[in-house]
């Protein structure tokens, strides 16, 4: 049995943490309340759109990995997550705009 928080609770914690850090977060798609995968859409002023999820790094350890199109085009990124969502209705998509988004996500939704 996993001791991880249910996904809905972890996403709620992330949204509150980002709000407290002076950023903004919006749930674009809700998935399975208990065990859905979370796709994090990071938006930063003047920067490319990027997608992250929990996966495995080059060393084989759990890590936050960038997924999807590497061009950062908002249209390509949107198309990507919408395709993923059609094939996995349990997928959560959370858009965030805050400095150090990856660290905040690592402390909440991607924590072991």
Q: What is the pLDDT along the chain (112 residues), one digit of tens a residue?
A: 346 789 999 899 999 999 999 999 999 999 999 988 999 999 877 778 899 998 888 888 888 889 999 888 888 999 999 999 999 999 999 999 988 888 888 887 777 6
In a domain, 13, yes or no: yes
The pTM for the full model equals: 0.87
In a domain, 1, yes or no: no
**What is the count of structural domains for the chain?**
1
51: domain CATH number?
3.40.1530.20
Residue 54 phi/psi, 5-degree rounding, is -75, 130
């Amino acid at each position: 049995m996993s001791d991880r928080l249910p996904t809905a609770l972890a996403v709620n914690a992330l949204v509150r943490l980002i709000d407290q850090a002076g950023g903004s977060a919006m749930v674009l798609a809700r998935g399975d309340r208990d065990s859905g995968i979370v796709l994090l859409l990071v938006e930063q002023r003047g920067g490319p759109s990027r997608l992250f999820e929990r996966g495995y790094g080059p060393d084989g350890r759990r890590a936050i990995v960038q997924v999807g199109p590497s061009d950062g085009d908002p249209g390509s990124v949107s198309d990507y997550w919408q395709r993923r969502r059609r094939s996995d209705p349990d997928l959560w998509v959370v858009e965030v705009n805050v400095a150090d988004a990856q660290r905040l996500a690592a402390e909440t939704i991607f924590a072991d």
